[in-house]
Structure 1
Amino acid sequence: MGAFGGGEVAMRPPVLHLIVGLVLYLVAEAMTVPALVDKVTAVLCTAADGRSCPEAIYLTGLESSVAGIFRIIGFPFIGQLADEYGRKPLLLLTAFTTIIPFAVLAWNNSRTAVYVYLILRCTFSFLIGEGTILFLTVAYTGDVIEPSKRVAAFGILTGIVSGSNALGDMFSRFLPEKWIFQVSVILLTFSVLYMKIYLIETVQRAPSSPCQHMYMPLSSLISLILPFISHKIGDKGIVCLSLLTSVAYALLYGVAWAWWVPYFSSLLGIIYVMAKPAIYAIISLEVLATDQGKTQGFIATVESVARMLAPLLMNPLTSYFISQEAPFNCKGFSFLVAALVLATSLCFAWTLNPKSQDKYREVPNPNDPDEEALREPQLS
């Protein structure tokens, strides 16, 4: 199909099968988000006088905190297992663990069912399932896509994730609420069965064959823009450009002087979302093929730690500067602090020096003591 970045970007059949399973999974998960809030509050908030429901608020907050902790534990563990036992078994396991909590809510609407759902989701699902399928997808894609095409492939995956979430949200608006969890369980089951039948293992893959023409079942604007920019300025340039745009985005929010400024700054999202695919591509080229799962799991862990720690600083800071006790009038001061942090990140990104050598295709030498020490399993 079209040319991207001066060369054709081919989505190989294994990746296309993975995309089908991923779309089914993401749509099924996204369609439950609006209904989940209604179901939990309807079961736990039985007061008829319209008062707030502290039980639901505390439980959902606890769920978010526990999820962050379990992701920190689970992501490196799943990444290690994916390198040792293969991508396909772990993809099937992570998709399957999402079925169980939703099946509980599809089966029963009682208070007990909600508590069982929260326990399963906070432990079994968050530790193994939710979130891990995304970085396993990145690792799987890196197994079969040529190094020079990976940034474009990761960009297409980013567009597919966004499109699938939007499609799931659309389904939730048209389906009757009582059927949402049943349909979600059916889609998740089809996702697992499809990947079980059609996915192949890629950890010990055969030599690459000539590229086939690209096929995009879902895409977004990012999928079209990213390959062109990558060809011109490289992956490091994309990361620096994205961070620079993020700095401008935060500054505009922090000093917004008119109602239209936040809307204008939101347009910068077309650029700053390109950072993640470029980072995936840079790191993918810097590690061995047998370390892709651990590496992507580590990236996801760092992201989870940041998401858990950021509110501890930003929420009190925002609350303080919008209150009457603020030392000076700057309600967007927390955004200015975020811009400073992003500028620091930009400085680090500017010092990056991605090597032209693709370590991904290197084969570890078991007779090399240094290499063998490097390859020692982390879970031992």
Structure 2
Amino acid sequence: MEECGRLSHLFVTVFLFSFHSYIVLPTIADVTVAALCGGRDACSLAIYLTGFQQAISGLGSVIMMPLLGNLSNSYGRKILLTIPTTLAIVPLAILALKRTKNWVYAYYAFKTLTAMVADGGVLCLSFGYLVTSKSKAESVSEGKRVAAFSVLYGVVSFANVLGNLGARFLSTSQIFQVGAFVSILTLVYMRIFVKDWSSSSSSRDDHIDHSTPLALEERTESCNNLRFHGIPSPKDIFRLINTSTTFALAASITLLGGLADAGAQTFLPYFLKFRFGFNKNQFAIIFLIINVGAALSNVVFVPKLGHRFGEMTLLSFAFFVAFLNMLLNSLSWAPWVPYTAASLGIVFTMWSSCVRSIASKQVGCSEQGIAQGCMMAITSLANVTSPLIFSPLSALFLSEEAPFHFSGFCVLCIGLCYLMAFILSMIIKLVPSSSKERVSNQHCVVA
């Protein structure tokens, strides 16, 4: 009963945070274009500014996510959750006041800085919170881990559904006012209701030698784990990724999937706006279709299918369908095609929870925070790389200087990233899990 209450408050916090993030998402492209493009439906300035913000924020997140995850192992998830939930308030408050040119520039300036911690921080810390608990009886075993991660993603998807419904029916000014209010509510709710069990007092770690930042010892089922203290260096992260071939492949898949997700989220709206003149209402409906499917798959289907077929099978299937989704979008010969492609979201949104579960099983009890922080850092690295690749492609093929007539070429390239991730997901099935390669963490306990 206590465990249900603990997780329910976490889920509410994640829901509120995701809601205020997603309610503004369909409107950002409209607001940016209206403020910067002088009445045109698209311009390079809006595309490059969006890409620049995404790249710089992602670069900062590469450093901040492992740090947040590692510090949460020592100081507790709740204390660290306060940081991203507080920072997320600022950009929304700016656009809640005004959306003229200078205010939009101010939004992007603050968003660039706060997103380094806020955008991935809540999910990163929540993943670690899910796997650690007060007693062995309450811990999340490996067999149930994909269900736990998928339910968390389901909560995010449900928040996305309601956020897009709000974006569809509220005016632009009301959208940002609601977003700012809910961001404040998220912080207050989290501070009052979320309970924290810090691993700093865990007596089971008292005997471990902390003399080195990262002690790589021979891994056995007695849980001789990697140890991190302070700020993890790039060398530490690299050595964590290489703890097993499976973890390394999961990290590579996360990079490709994150690269594609970031490109689809940022540049697909600009393509659809150029191709069919879509605005926030059409974007909201498309995101709504995707996230209704995501909520259903992550809450209902993944826990059942993951137990029956395994995360790796679902991972491959999800990436192949994600490629088909982008292929359909790139060819969009009529306005109804993007809506049809969005219906595939019930399948392609499965990949994140599956790969998180795979990565979680490759590390020990006390490394869940740093491991999930590492995976989130890889996603952030994808956010850095994505605009470097897709901003020029999108701007070029949406302009009159395109080398050939195919405005959806950038979207097709996003699909190719999913296809490469699909190929790697087929390889990961061939890698056996041995006791020498990963730590047994059936009971991740926090005292």
Structure 1 residue 190 displacement after superposition: 1.2
Q: Report the CA distance shift for 1:290/1:108 in structure 2 as closer, same or farther (over 3 A).
A: same
Residue matched to 1:72: 62
Give yes or no for the alignment of 1:298 onto 2:374: yes
Residue matched to 2:348: 272
Structure 1 residues not aligned, in runs of 5+: 1-9, 208-217, 365-380
Distance 1:79 1:60 in 2: 27
1:246-265 matched pairs, under 5 angstroms: 246=322
Q: Is the 8 A contact 1:99 1:185 kept in 2?
A: yes
Distance 2:304 2:191 in 1: 35
Which digits, 9 at most, give the CA deviation of each residue in 1:191-215, with x for residues without a partner? 11111111111333999xxxxxxxx
Structure 1 residue 299 displacement after superposition: 0.6
Query: Which of residues 358, 363, 367 is equivalent to 2:440?
Result: 358
- Give 3-state SS (helix, strand or coil) of 2:132's partner: helix
Structure 1 residue 184 displacement after superposition: 1.7
Query: Which of residues 197, 201, 210 is equivalent to 1:202?
Result: 197
Distance 1:242 1:91 in 2: 30
Q: Is the 8 A contact 2:53 2:108 kept in 1?
A: yes
- Give 3-state SS (helix, strand or coil) of 1:361's partner: coil
Distance 1:107 1:258 in 2: 37
Residue matched to 2:285: none
Q: Report the CA distance shift for 1:110/1:50 in structure 2 as closer, same or farther (over 3 A).
A: closer
Query: Which of residues 12, 23, 43 is equivalent to 1:20?
Result: 12
Q: Is the 8 A contact 2:323 2:416 kept in 1?
A: no
RMSD: 4.1
Q: Which AA in structure 2 matches 1:26?
A: S
Residue matched to 1:63: 53
Q: What TM-score comes out, normalization by structure 1 length?
A: 0.73
Q: Is the 8 A contact 2:58 2:382 kept in 1?
A: no
Give yes or no for the alignment of 1:190 onto 2:185: yes
Q: What TM-score comes out, normalization by structure 2 length?
A: 0.63
1:1-380 matched pairs, under 5 angstroms: 12-44=4-36, 47=38, 55-109=45-99, 111-123=101-113, 125-144=114-133, 145-147=139-141, 148-204=143-199, 219-243=295-319, 245-246=321-322, 268-310=344-386, 312=388, 334=413, 337-338=416-417, 341-354=420-433, 358-359=440-441, 361=443
Q: Is the 8 A contact 1:239 1:349 kept in 2?
A: no
Distance 2:323 2:131 in 1: 30
Q: Which AA in structure 2 matches 1:30?
A: Y
Which digits, 9 at most, give the CA deviation of each residue in 1:209-252, with x for residues without a partner? xxxxxxxxx95233211122222223333334444555676788
Q: Report the CA distance shift for 1:154/1:51 in structure 2 as closer, same or farther (over 3 A).
A: closer
Q: Is the 8 A contact 1:288 1:361 kept in 2?
A: no
Q: Which AA in structure 1 matches 2:423?
A: T
Q: Report the CA distance shift for 1:311/1:41 in structure 2 as closer, same or farther (over 3 A).
A: closer
Q: Report the CA distance shift for 1:352/1:243 in structure 2 as closer, same or farther (over 3 A).
A: farther
Structure 1 residue 167 displacement after superposition: 0.6
Larger Rg: 1
- Give 3-state SS (helix, strand or coil) of 2:88's partner: helix
Distance 1:315 1:100 in 2: 26
- Give 3-state SS (helix, strand or coil) of 1:130's partner: helix
Q: Report the CA distance shift for 1:58/1:363 in structure 2 as closer, same or farther (over 3 A).
A: closer
Distance 2:330 2:31 in 1: 36
Distance 2:25 2:323 in 1: 30
- Give 3-state SS (helix, strand or coil) of 1:12's partner: helix
Structure 1 residue 120 displacement after superposition: 1.4
Structure 1 residue 78 displacement after superposition: 1.7
Q: Report the CA distance shift for 1:255/1:41 in structure 2 as closer, same or farther (over 3 A).
A: closer
Identity across the alignment (%): 28
Distance 1:54 1:244 in 2: 31
Structure 1 residue 27 displacement after superposition: 1.3
Q: Is the 8 A contact 1:282 1:354 kept in 2?
A: no
Distance 1:244 1:37 in 2: 28
Q: Is the 8 A contact 1:99 1:189 kept in 2?
A: yes
Structure 2 residues not aligned, in runs of 5+: 134-138, 204-293
